[in-house]
Amino acid sequence: MFWFWSSVILIPLLDQIFKFKVRTELSIGAEINTFIPFLKIVNVSNFGMAFGIMKGKSLLLVIATTLIILFLFYLVFTLKNKNLLTILSLAFLIGGGIGNLIDRLTLGYVIDYLKITFFPPVCNLSDYFVCLGMIFLLISFKFYF
């Protein structure tokens, strides 16, 4: 469970540190080039979820995210087959969900800051961990369930 708790704590912590730096050092819409040619750091306020859907439904998103996180915690502690891949996938989903939930609760929107030039939506670290968690979970279902 070390990897589970480490991920659940570190993902939102790192994401919030990056979001704080972006929020305090970049104006909305500003971009900074990085040493990676296809990656830019930007400051975007996201009032919806992926691709801007459910824009303006912050309370509904807070409730849904909280319920999903609670359900994922329930799964972690009730699963009989606790392989590392499944546990990590659930930890990534929970950690990513918490990272964005903190923004919704404190700001009313989510700060996105990672712009990959060949992938149109601007995302954040929590978003990428949610995606990675889903991929790991699908692989886990294929091999362990």
Which residue is catalytic, options 7, 65, 69, 112?
112
Q: pLDDT per residue over 9-49, tens digit each?
A: 999 999 999 999 999 999 998 999 999 999 999 999 999 88
Q: pTM of the entire structure?
A: 0.93
End-to-end CA distance of the chain: 20
Write down the pLDDT at residue 94: 98
**Where residue 88 falls among pLDDT bands split at 50, 70, 90?**
very high
Active-site annotation holds for 103: no
* Residue 52 in tokens: 């801007």
Bigger pLDDT: 92 vs 49: 92
What single-letter DSSP state applies at residue 108?
Answer: S
Active-site annotation holds for 15: no
- CA 71, CA 85: separation in Å to the nearest integer? 18
Give me the residue spans of the domains in the chain. 2-28+48-110+125-138
What single-letter DSSP state applies at residue 30?
Answer: -
Which residue is catalytic, options 101, 127, 129, 137?
127
Tell me the three state secondary structure of residue 31.
strand
